[in-house]
Amino acid sequence: MANQLHIYTNNPTAGKTDGTEASSGTGLTPISVTLDASKAESAAVKCAVRCDEGYKIDGGVTVSLKGTSSAKWKLAKDGDFADSKAALDGAIWQDKIALTDVADGNVIFWAKAMSSEDEPPQKDTSVSIEAVGKVVVV
- pLDDT value at 53 more than 60: yes
pLDDT given at position 27: 73
Q: What is the maximal distance between C-alpha atoms in the chain? A: 50
- pLDDT value at 26 more than 70: yes
Mean pLDDT, rounded, for 42-49: 97
- pLDDT value at 2 more than 70: no
pLDDT given at position 3: 74
The Cα 62–Cα 123 span in angstroms is 27
- pLDDT value at 19 more than 70: yes
pLDDT given at position 11: 96
**Given pLDDT bands bounded at 50, 70 and 90, which one contains residue 122?**
confident
The Cα 42–Cα 129 span in angstroms is 17
* Of residues 89 and 38, more confidently modeled: 89
pLDDT digits (tens, 9 = 90+) for 79-104: 999 999 999 999 999 999 999 999 99
Could you tell me if residue 40 is left (phi over 0), alpha (psi between -120 and 50 degrees) or otherwise beta?
beta
